[in-house]
Structure 1
Amino acid sequence: MGSHDQATQSTARQAEITVIGAGVIGIASALSLSRQGWRVRVIDKHVPGMGASFGNAGHMATEQVFPIADASILMRLPRMLLDPMGPLRLDWRHFPKALPWFTRLLWNLRQTPYQASVSGIRALNEASLGAWRRLLDSVDGTHLLKEDGSFLVYERENSFAAIQALQARMAAQGVAVESWQGNAIRDVAPQLAETIRGGLFFPATGHVVNPFSVVDALTNAAKAEGVEFHQDEVLSGEVHSRGVTLKTARSRPIHADKVLVACGAHSAPLTADLTGIKVPLDTERGYHLMLPREQERLPVAVTSLERRFIMTPMTEGLRLAGTVEFAGLHRPPNMQRAWQLHRLSQGLFKTPLDASEATPWMGFRPSLPDSLPVIDSAQDGKVLLAFGHHHLGLTQAAVTAELIATLATQGQKASSSALALPELTPYRLDRFSS
């Protein structure tokens, strides 16, 4: 056996936890695990932060406590299938494969499971910003988060009733929400058009100045604390008495005492390998359009009620995001959907947005039909799971990392955490075992 093989085998034996997935949830979890005393390795076929975490809207969406769909989705289904540029799109070629997922989604719209989903989302969201403050403070990254609130604005007179109803629903769930008139909104964001009649302000929300910079700061901190990073693809896994063995595309099999599955929309096959449970995971294909010449246009994130998209100010420009497409993992992106976001912005500002040098993007948001993630341990603690956060992956990443670190230590190492974390029952894997 050569020295390289010996070194590789030695390294493989030293790592106690292997994290599969280098998005914001995987990296935040790797850092939290390392700080609990575990030796950690991260594996992803991409550079850290270059998947869905790269292109998210950047909005810390703590106000979004409701599931990704309600009963109105039935009325919208024909348009979803027929309108390729609609804000919610279902590719007809993906429809047969997606039908079981949508059936489960509709089943979860019954009152009892719907309210359970709301409670589960709210619990994570309420703990999210505090967890992010702790995490970013620990990596000298507090400047990456702006907690200045966000707006949901409306333009049509007949939208006022919908805004009032939404405000009442959110307030009933404990969401901090205020009703603002159009002139008050323009005092904060003076470039918005006079057609903005009013909207809701969410004071307990914020945005990051660059999602990739957040992941990069966490990655650098993790490397400084000894976390290893490997660019490789995990093909399959097997649990046995000594831990878990992973088969990869580029290297020999890797052994770990524990693994964390945190590879977003790609998590279902490996979860089935390791636990025997088939998770009904689909993907919301999200698009954004980055406008580098619009860095000063808005001070906070602004969402349009009627146009159904969000605009977030970042250091590199203004990011337009929010369109959702169900078309699976393998169809090529339709970047016209990203450019459609610029067309949707027309009329929202006193002067049009400058789209010169704009760049489009598409990524995969992992979505489960009850709108709750899987955050759990299985196989006597050998398999940890953190995926399925749909469009709240950035928002819930830091608190998920704290929950994973707690799960990893239970029964093996004393946890020093005294944090008031959400109870894990709503996020258990076994809700999909029947």
Structure 2
Amino acid sequence: MPNDSTANNRHDITVIGAGVIGVACALQLARQGLRVTVIDQQEPGHGASFGNAGHLATEQVFPIADLSILKRLPAMLMDPMGPLRLDWKYMPRALPWFARLLLNLRPAPFQRTVAGIRALNESSLGAWQRLLQTIVRPDLLKEDGSLLVFERADSQPAIEALQARMRQQQVPVERWQANAVRDAAPQLSEHLQGGLFFERTGHFLDPYRVVCELVHAAKACGVQFLKRRVQDGHLDAGGVSLITDQGELSSHRVLIACGAHSAQLTQALTGKKVPLDTERGYHLMLPHERERLPFAVTSLERKFIMTPMTGGLRLAGTVEFAGLDSPPSMERAWQLHRLSKGLFRRDLNAEAATPWMGFRPSLPDSLPIIDSACDGKVLLAFGHQHLGLTQAAVTAQLIAQLASPTSIFQSHGLPTMAAYRLDRF
């Protein structure tokens, strides 16, 4: 028998996942008059949303990998500190996912992926501006662009090729010479050759604070937050019944937005097995380096990003495929500090630095699932890979539109949702 006090009074919609995507969706749904409950086994914002790079990465319109991944596979297996690592023990489980990734790198599916990412990213900045204005916290986002720098003269052709590809996708980009880099970020090394500046990007001063502020706004709209673990679920005549570690909870609809943990419940409710895997991401937070950079800076050769935040300078960007169960290798986080050496006139201070690891949910075509299934009883919003923070606000608007076809968000020129359907798998 259900022992949850709300079990006899069905919720309008239950959101499973209290990361930035789930909470943003909950807030938008509550503003449409729905009774919303959010369930997570952790406190809100304590998953991948806590430790992401904080970069509003609207310029990143290409998939997470290209065909060069075949050449890099030996290094991925052998180098535990490389920027892209595949744990050899996890390889048998990862191979089917990588096979599908390679199939999606063929010209036609590759172009569909780029179009799908670009459509979300082009709407992301405006969606975040509107959302932060509604909670009176626009100050949490710094809309000051981001910079990709390069160090070696022989990297210039790669920079030129990337600039051309970005322009082809209508991504605003400027080529900066070395003197422009020094003027904008004088603490960077004088040996840098130049870079690409992306003006329509920005960074969040504290990604966790963003989630907390959204939670505060959601609670003011009546959203209830429950800390419990969803173990299973099934459809019934009235909607959906969820089995949790504290009893059964009934809801007319559910939204699955629990990131890398979404596959099992999606299969239980929809019967669809989705090829969801996880990019394990690491960061290193340097509390004594708050003022080093004016905006997010990425290194082309070293393949990591540095983002200034209120809590310090966050170094992030490493990717590891090792599944959900393997313990973290925090040495990969400390490797980020070693990678920073030589990028500044004076080395970064790592005193009192804190390492972190989290799970980025990734599908082999690099696109999220944003959809409605089971006659509208099940909504889905997961699989955003390393663009979860970037695409959270626009995803919330799309989910609001799916939940209520007359949603006001249709007027904001949102992307069509065909590319993000569940049935593409």
TM-score for the superposition, normalised by structure 1: 0.96
Aligned match for 2:345, one of 336, 341, 350: 350
Letter in 1 for 2:98: F
**1:62 paired residue among 42, 58, 64:** 58
Assess, with a 3 A threshold, how the Cα gap between structure 1 residues 242 and 83 changes in structure 2: closer, same or farther.
same
Distance in 2 (CA, whole Å) between partners of 1:334 and 1:183 is 38
User: Where do residues 289-328 of structure 1 align in structure 2 (5 Å cutoff)?
Assistant: 289-328=284-323
**Structure 2 residue aligned with 1:183:** 179
Q: Identify the match of residue 416 of structure 1 among 402, 408, 419.
A: 408
Structure 2 residue 74 is the aligned partner of structure 1 residue 78:
yes
The aligned residue for residue 149 of structure 1 is 145
Does structure 2 conserve the Cα–Cα contact (< 8 Å) formed by 1:14 and 1:39?
no
Match for residue 126 of structure 2 among 130, 134, 149: 130
Paired position in structure 2 for 1:120: 116
CA contact (8 A) 2:340 2:348 kept: yes
Q: Separation in 2 of the partners of 1:195 and 1:390? A: 33
Counterpart of 2:364 in 1: which secondary structure? coil
Q: Which residue of 1 aligns with 2:389?
A: 394
**Matching residue of 1:252:** 247
Q: 1:14 offset after TM fit, Å?
A: 4.5
Counterpart of 2:157 in structure 1 is: 161
Give the Cα–Cα distance (whole angstroms) in 2 for the partners of residues 93 and 38 of structure 1. Answer: 45
Report if the CA contact (8 A) 1:191-1:349 is conserved: yes
Distance, in Å, in 1 between the alignment partners of 2:270 and 2:140 is 37
- 1:400 counterpart SS class: helix
* Corresponding position of 1:8: 6
Long gaps (5+) in structure 2: none
CA contact (8 A) 1:55 1:288 kept: yes
Instruction: Give the 4+ runs in structure 1 shifted more than 4 A.
Output: 4-7
Q: Which amino acid aligns with 2:408?
A: S
- For residues 320 and 292 of structure 1, the distance between their equivalents in structure 2, rounded to whole angstroms, comes to 11
Aligned partner of 1:27 among 8, 16, 23: 23
Query: What does residue 367 of structure 2 align with?
Result: 372
Query: Structure 2: which amino acid aligns with 1:60?
Result: L
Distance change >3 Å, CA 5–CA 370, structure 1 → 2:
closer
1:284-336 superposed Cα distances (whole Å, 9 cap, x missing partner): 00000000000000000000000000000000000000000000000000000
C-alpha displacement of 1:242? 1.1
Q: 1:104 maps to what in 2?
A: 100
Matches within 5 A, 1:276-291: 276-291=271-286
Q: Distance in 2 between matches of 1:426 and 1:225?
A: 31
- State the Cα deviation string for residues 108-150 of structure 1 (Å, max 9, x = none): 0000000000000000000000000000000111000000000
3-state SS of the aligned residue for 2:7? helix
| Count of residue correspondences | 424
In 1, the alpha carbon distance for the partners of 2:7 and 2:95 equals 45
SS of 1:9's equivalent in the other structure is: coil
Which of 414, 420, 425 is the equivalent residue of 1:427?
Answer: 420
Unaligned runs of 5+ in 1: none
The whole-number CA distance in structure 1 between the counterparts of 2:392 and 2:344 is 32
Work out whether residues 10 and 252 of structure 2, in 8 Å CA contact, stay in contact via their aligned partners in 1.
Answer: no
> In the aligned structure 2, how far is the partner of 1:415 from the partner of 1:156?
50
Equivalent residues of 2:83, 2:318 under 8 A apart: yes
- 1:9 partner letter: A
Equivalents in 2 of 1:137, 1:281: separation in Å?
Answer: 33
**Matching of residues 87-102 of structure 1 within 5 Å:** 87-102=83-98
Confirm or deny: 8 A CA contact 2:54 2:207 kept in the other structure.
yes
For residues 131 and 6 of structure 1, the distance between their equivalents in structure 2, rounded to whole angstroms, comes to 36
In 2, distance between residues paired with 1:164 and 1:390?
26
Q: Which amino acid aligns with 2:92?
A: P
Corresponding residue SS for 1:8: coil
Distance in 2, matches of 1:252 and 1:122, equals 42
The letter of the residue matching 2:238 is R
Aligned to 1:269: 264
Q: What TM-score, normalized to structure 2?
A: 0.98
**How far apart, in 1, do the equivalents of 2:238 and 2:6 lie?**
18
Secondary structure of the 2:408 match is coil
Secondary structure of 1:318's match? strand
- Partner deviation per Cα, 1:78-99 (whole Å, 9 max, x = no partner): 0000000000000000000000
Structure 1, residues 386-429: CA drift from partner, whole Å, max 9, x if none? 0000000000000000000000113xxx3233221100000000
The CA distance in 2 between the partners of 1:322 and 1:331, in whole Å, is 19
- Cα distance in 1, alignment partners of residues 50 and 204 from structure 2: 12
Whether the aligned pair in 1 keeps the contact of 2:120 and 2:391 (CA below 8 Å) is yes
- The answer as to 2:234 corresponding to 1:241 is no
Q: Is contact 2:150–2:195 with CA below 8 Å preserved after alignment?
A: yes
1:7–1:240 CA distance, 2 compared to 1 (3 A):
closer
Distance, in Å, in 2 between the alignment partners of 1:155 and 1:416 is: 47
Separation in 2, partners of 1:273, 1:69: 30
Structure 1 position 7, deviation (Å):
4.3
Give 1:6 deviation, angstroms.
Answer: 8.4
Give 3-state SS (helix, strand or coil) of 1:253's partner: strand
What's the C-alpha RMSD, in Å, of the aligned pairs?
1.2
